[in-house]
Amino acid sequence: MKLRFVLGSAPLLATVLMAATAAHADSFDVRSNAAHGHRSDVPHRGMTMAQVEQAYGAPVDKLPTAGGDAPRHPPTNRWRYNGFTVYFERSRVIHSVVDAAALPPNP
């Protein structure tokens, strides 16, 4: 009888534990490009370094290359422009991020 009670209680116990874990999740405010939709005034994924420089001019700052020390760690570069930063993997854009100062304040 005890075995049947223990086996019958296991799914209930698992559900309670999962609910308790979810109840302790942290929430935080993330101001991202997704909240502002796709921006057409920043470089998009797949553009080459030459295309970015031709379309947006020379960057304000070219930060040092990171990675490239192993085949699993390709070289990544960051170029800073006024209002956004462009991230490259090898010579292609992988992401453009609008600077927090360029975003409108959160409501």
Residue 78, in any domain of the structure: yes
Per the domain annotation, does 87 fall within a domain?
yes
| Reduced 3-state DSSP string for 37-80 | CCCCCCCCCCCEHHHHHHHHCCCCEECCCECCCECCECCEEEEE
Could you read off the pLDDT of 10-31 as tens digits, one per residue? 777 677 666 655 555 565 555 5
Residue 103 domain flag: yes
pLDDT of residue 71: 86
> Which residues of the chain, if any, have pLDDT below 50?
33-34, 36-38
Within a domain: 49: yes
Q: Which letter, b or e, does each residue of 44-66 get, where b requires 16 or more Cβ atoms within 10 Å of its Cβ?
A: eeebebeebeeebeebeeeeeee
Number of domains observed in the structure of the chain: 1
* pLDDT (0 to 100) of residue 87: 98
pLDDT at 8: 65
pLDDT at 4: 59
Does residue 9 fall inside a structural domain?
Answer: no
Whether 66 maps to a domain, the answer reads yes
pLDDT reported for residue 33:
44
CATH number for position 81: 3.30.1450
In a domain, 67, yes or no: yes
pLDDT of residue 11: 75
Question: 90 lies in which domain range?
Answer: 43-107
